[in-house]
Amino acid sequence: MATRLAVVVLISGRGSNLQAIIDAAQQGLPVDIRAVISNVAGTAGLERAQGAGIHTEVLEHAGYPDREAYDQALQRLIDGFQPGLVVLAGFMRILTPAFVARYHARMVNIHPSLLPAFPGLNTHQRALEAGVREHGASVHFVTEEVDGGPVIIQARVPVLPDDTPEVLAARVLEQEHSIFPQAIQWFAEDRLSLQGNAVLLDGKPVTGLIRISHQGGGRRQGHNPR
Protein backbone atom coordinates (compact mmCIF):
# COMPACT_ATOMS: atom_id res chain seq x y z
CA MET A 1 0.00 0.00 0.00
CA ALA A 2 1.21 3.52 -0.80
CA THR A 3 2.33 5.58 2.16
CA ARG A 4 -0.34 7.69 3.79
CA LEU A 5 -0.19 11.45 3.72
CA ALA A 6 0.85 12.98 7.02
CA VAL A 7 -1.73 15.55 8.07
CA VAL A 8 -2.08 18.04 10.91
CA VAL A 9 -5.59 19.37 11.56
CA LEU A 10 -6.17 22.75 13.20
CA ILE A 11 -9.46 23.39 14.98
CA SER A 12 -11.12 25.87 17.30
CA GLY A 13 -14.35 24.21 18.32
CA ARG A 14 -16.92 21.56 17.61
CA GLY A 15 -14.79 19.52 15.22
CA SER A 16 -17.50 17.96 13.09
CA ASN A 17 -15.37 18.37 9.97
CA LEU A 18 -12.48 16.81 11.86
CA GLN A 19 -14.81 13.93 12.68
CA ALA A 20 -15.68 13.52 9.00
CA ILE A 21 -11.96 13.28 8.20
CA ILE A 22 -11.37 10.80 11.04
CA ASP A 23 -14.29 8.69 9.81
CA ALA A 24 -13.03 8.82 6.23
CA ALA A 25 -9.54 7.82 7.36
CA GLN A 26 -11.04 4.82 9.12
CA GLN A 27 -12.73 3.93 5.84
CA GLY A 28 -9.63 4.12 3.67
CA LEU A 29 -8.79 7.82 3.15
CA PRO A 30 -4.98 7.50 2.89
CA VAL A 31 -4.03 9.98 5.59
CA ASP A 32 -2.20 9.70 8.86
CA ILE A 33 -3.59 12.37 11.19
CA ARG A 34 -0.41 13.07 13.14
CA ALA A 35 -1.97 15.67 15.41
CA VAL A 36 -4.98 17.84 16.06
CA ILE A 37 -4.11 21.30 17.33
CA SER A 38 -6.69 23.60 18.89
CA ASN A 39 -6.21 27.26 19.78
CA VAL A 40 -8.98 26.83 22.37
CA ALA A 41 -8.80 24.45 25.33
CA GLY A 42 -11.57 22.01 26.16
CA THR A 43 -13.26 21.91 22.79
CA ALA A 44 -15.46 19.08 21.56
CA GLY A 45 -13.08 18.66 18.65
CA LEU A 46 -10.25 17.78 21.01
CA GLU A 47 -12.45 15.14 22.62
CA ARG A 48 -13.25 13.68 19.23
CA ALA A 49 -9.54 13.43 18.40
CA GLN A 50 -8.71 11.86 21.74
CA GLY A 51 -11.57 9.42 21.28
CA ALA A 52 -9.97 8.33 18.03
CA GLY A 53 -6.55 7.97 19.64
CA ILE A 54 -5.07 10.98 17.85
CA HIS A 55 -2.41 13.12 19.47
CA THR A 56 -3.76 16.53 20.52
CA GLU A 57 -2.19 19.84 21.39
CA VAL A 58 -3.65 23.10 22.68
CA LEU A 59 -1.92 26.33 21.79
CA GLU A 60 -3.75 29.31 23.22
CA HIS A 61 -2.86 32.82 22.19
CA ALA A 62 -2.60 34.09 25.76
CA GLY A 63 1.02 34.76 26.55
CA TYR A 64 2.03 35.61 23.00
CA PRO A 65 2.70 39.31 22.46
CA ASP A 66 1.32 39.42 18.93
CA ARG A 67 -0.02 37.44 16.01
CA GLU A 68 3.45 36.90 14.55
CA ALA A 69 4.76 35.34 17.76
CA TYR A 70 1.76 33.06 18.05
CA ASP A 71 2.00 31.94 14.45
CA GLN A 72 5.71 31.24 14.83
CA ALA A 73 4.98 29.01 17.81
CA LEU A 74 2.18 27.33 15.91
CA GLN A 75 4.48 26.74 12.96
CA ARG A 76 7.11 25.15 15.20
CA LEU A 77 4.46 22.91 16.70
CA ILE A 78 3.06 21.88 13.32
CA ASP A 79 6.48 21.29 11.76
CA GLY A 80 7.36 18.89 14.54
CA PHE A 81 4.81 16.51 13.01
CA GLN A 82 6.21 16.94 9.47
CA PRO A 83 2.86 17.12 7.72
CA GLY A 84 2.47 17.07 3.97
CA LEU A 85 -0.86 18.85 4.37
CA VAL A 86 -2.21 21.26 6.97
CA VAL A 87 -5.99 21.15 7.28
CA LEU A 88 -7.93 24.08 8.73
CA ALA A 89 -11.16 22.57 9.99
CA GLY A 90 -12.96 25.43 11.68
CA PHE A 91 -9.75 27.14 12.82
CA MET A 92 -10.99 30.60 13.69
CA ARG A 93 -7.87 32.70 13.47
CA ILE A 94 -6.50 35.16 10.95
CA LEU A 95 -3.13 33.87 9.77
CA THR A 96 0.01 35.94 9.22
CA PRO A 97 1.54 36.13 5.73
CA ALA A 98 4.67 34.27 6.88
CA PHE A 99 2.57 31.41 8.22
CA VAL A 100 0.54 31.21 5.02
CA ALA A 101 3.72 31.27 2.92
CA ARG A 102 5.23 28.45 4.97
CA TYR A 103 2.41 26.09 3.94
CA HIS A 104 1.86 27.45 0.44
CA ALA A 105 0.00 24.93 -1.73
CA ARG A 106 -0.23 22.49 1.18
CA MET A 107 -2.80 24.10 3.45
CA VAL A 108 -6.56 23.84 2.85
CA ASN A 109 -9.57 25.39 4.54
CA ILE A 110 -13.30 24.79 4.50
CA HIS A 111 -15.62 27.75 4.41
CA PRO A 112 -19.43 27.68 4.72
CA SER A 113 -20.39 29.63 1.61
CA LEU A 114 -20.09 29.49 -2.13
CA LEU A 115 -16.94 31.57 -2.34
CA PRO A 116 -16.33 34.25 -3.45
CA ALA A 117 -19.74 34.98 -1.94
CA PHE A 118 -19.82 35.64 1.81
CA PRO A 119 -16.24 35.41 3.04
CA GLY A 120 -15.85 35.91 6.78
CA LEU A 121 -18.30 35.15 9.57
CA ASN A 122 -22.06 34.58 9.91
CA THR A 123 -22.36 33.31 6.36
CA HIS A 124 -25.73 31.59 6.77
CA GLN A 125 -27.39 34.65 8.29
CA ARG A 126 -25.91 36.82 5.56
CA ALA A 127 -27.03 34.44 2.82
CA LEU A 128 -30.60 34.59 4.15
CA GLU A 129 -30.50 38.38 4.41
CA ALA A 130 -29.22 38.62 0.86
CA GLY A 131 -32.08 36.47 -0.37
CA VAL A 132 -29.92 34.08 -2.37
CA ARG A 133 -31.59 30.93 -3.65
CA GLU A 134 -28.48 28.79 -3.34
CA HIS A 135 -25.85 28.57 -0.68
CA GLY A 136 -23.15 26.06 0.11
CA ALA A 137 -19.58 25.38 1.12
CA SER A 138 -16.14 25.63 -0.44
CA VAL A 139 -12.81 23.93 0.14
CA HIS A 140 -9.90 26.09 -0.96
CA PHE A 141 -6.15 26.40 -0.77
CA VAL A 142 -5.18 29.01 1.81
CA THR A 143 -3.65 32.26 0.64
CA GLU A 144 -3.09 35.58 2.38
CA GLU A 145 -6.54 36.83 1.52
CA VAL A 146 -8.95 35.51 4.16
CA ASP A 147 -11.31 32.98 2.53
CA GLY A 148 -9.90 34.15 -0.81
CA GLY A 149 -7.70 31.27 -1.95
CA PRO A 150 -8.30 29.20 -5.10
CA VAL A 151 -11.33 26.94 -4.75
CA ILE A 152 -10.90 23.17 -5.04
CA ILE A 153 -14.45 21.94 -4.64
CA GLN A 154 -17.82 23.38 -3.74
CA ALA A 155 -21.13 21.93 -2.65
CA ARG A 156 -24.33 23.75 -3.38
CA VAL A 157 -27.59 23.49 -1.45
CA PRO A 158 -30.94 25.19 -1.98
CA VAL A 159 -32.13 27.95 0.34
CA LEU A 160 -35.71 27.14 1.32
CA PRO A 161 -38.45 29.61 2.28
CA ASP A 162 -38.63 28.76 5.97
CA ASP A 163 -34.90 28.46 6.55
CA THR A 164 -33.37 29.85 9.68
CA PRO A 165 -29.59 30.30 9.87
CA GLU A 166 -29.43 27.13 11.97
CA VAL A 167 -31.45 25.02 9.54
CA LEU A 168 -29.46 26.30 6.58
CA ALA A 169 -26.17 25.74 8.42
CA ALA A 170 -27.09 22.12 9.07
CA ARG A 171 -27.89 21.56 5.38
CA VAL A 172 -24.54 23.08 4.39
CA LEU A 173 -22.62 21.23 7.09
CA GLU A 174 -23.77 17.87 5.79
CA GLN A 175 -22.17 18.77 2.46
CA GLU A 176 -19.01 20.05 4.14
CA HIS A 177 -18.54 16.59 5.58
CA SER A 178 -18.59 15.18 2.08
CA ILE A 179 -16.42 17.64 0.12
CA PHE A 180 -13.64 18.13 2.68
CA PRO A 181 -12.57 14.46 2.80
CA GLN A 182 -12.93 14.38 -1.00
CA ALA A 183 -10.48 17.26 -1.48
CA ILE A 184 -8.06 15.73 1.03
CA GLN A 185 -8.27 12.41 -0.76
CA TRP A 186 -7.30 14.00 -4.08
CA PHE A 187 -4.35 15.69 -2.41
CA ALA A 188 -3.30 12.49 -0.67
CA GLU A 189 -3.43 10.65 -3.96
CA ASP A 190 -1.18 13.29 -5.55
CA ARG A 191 -3.92 14.29 -7.95
CA LEU A 192 -4.45 17.82 -6.67
CA SER A 193 -2.07 20.75 -6.78
CA LEU A 194 -1.91 24.53 -6.83
CA GLN A 195 0.06 26.04 -9.72
CA GLY A 196 0.07 29.82 -9.50
CA ASN A 197 -3.59 30.62 -8.93
CA ALA A 198 -4.84 27.53 -10.73
CA VAL A 199 -6.07 24.43 -8.97
CA LEU A 200 -5.13 21.37 -10.97
CA LEU A 201 -6.84 18.03 -10.65
CA ASP A 202 -5.17 15.27 -12.63
CA GLY A 203 -3.21 18.01 -14.38
CA LYS A 204 -6.28 19.93 -15.57
CA PRO A 205 -7.50 23.27 -14.22
CA VAL A 206 -10.79 23.17 -12.35
CA THR A 207 -13.25 25.91 -11.58
CA GLY A 208 -14.66 23.96 -8.68
CA LEU A 209 -16.30 20.58 -8.65
CA ILE A 210 -19.84 21.16 -7.63
CA ARG A 211 -22.01 18.60 -6.01
CA ILE A 212 -25.56 19.78 -6.26
CA SER A 213 -27.92 18.39 -3.72
CA HIS A 214 -31.64 18.81 -4.23
CA GLN A 215 -33.97 18.65 -1.31
CA GLY A 216 -35.24 15.09 -1.11
CA GLY A 217 -33.97 14.39 -4.58
CA GLY A 218 -30.98 12.93 -6.35
CA ARG A 219 -27.49 14.27 -6.67
CA ARG A 220 -25.19 14.89 -9.47
CA GLN A 221 -21.57 15.70 -9.54
CA GLY A 222 -20.17 17.84 -12.29
CA HIS A 223 -16.62 18.59 -13.24
CA ASN A 224 -16.08 21.97 -14.82
CA PRO A 225 -12.77 22.15 -16.68
CA ARG A 226 -11.87 25.71 -17.70
DSSP secondary structure, 149-179, as one string: SPEEEEEEEE--TT--HHHHHHHHHHHHHHH
- H runs (alpha helix) in 29-92: 44-51, 67-79
140-159: contacts with ligand GRF (CB under 6 A): none
Least distance in angstroms from the C-beta of 136 to ligand GRF: 10
What are the residues whose beta carbons fall under 8 Å from the beta carbon of 219, sequence distance 6 or more? 211, 212, 213
Decide: is 110 part of the binding site for ligand GRF (CB under 6 A): yes
The half-sphere exposure of 201 on its side-chain side, counting CA atoms within 13 A, is: 19
Sign of the Cα torsion 72, 77, 80, 85 reads negative
Would you say how long the chain is, in residues? 226
> Residue from 83, 112, 149, 208 that binds ligand GRF (CB under 6 A)?
112
According to the binding rule CB under 6 A, does residue 90 interact with ligand GRF? yes
Residues 20-59: x where in contact with ligand GRF by CB under 6 A, - otherwise, as a string: -------------------------x--------------
Q: Please give the backbone phi and psi of residue 89, each rounded to the nearest 5 degrees, phi first.
A: -115, 75
208 binds ligand GRF (CB under 6 A): no
Q: Tell whether residue 16 is a contact of ligand GRF (CB under 6 A).
A: yes
Task: Give all strands (DSSP E) within 12-158, no chain letters.
Answer: 31-38, 56-58, 85-88, 107-111, 134-141, 151-158
My answer on whether omega of the bond before 158 falls inside 30° of 0, hence cis, is no
Q: Which is nearer to ligand GRF, 91 or 99 (CB)?
A: 91
Does 136 participate in binding ligand GRF (rule CB under 6 A)? no
Q: Which is nearer to ligand GRF, 4 or 93 (CB)?
A: 93
Applying CB under 6 A, which of residues 5, 9, 10, 17 lies at the interface with ligand GRF? 17
Q: Which stretch binds ligand GRF (CB under 6 A): 71-79, 94-102, 109-117, 195-203?
A: 109-117
Name which of 90 and 149 has its Cβ closer to ligand GRF: 90
Positions in the binding site for ligand GRF (CB under 6 A): 11, 13-17, 45, 89-90, 110-112, 137, 173, 176
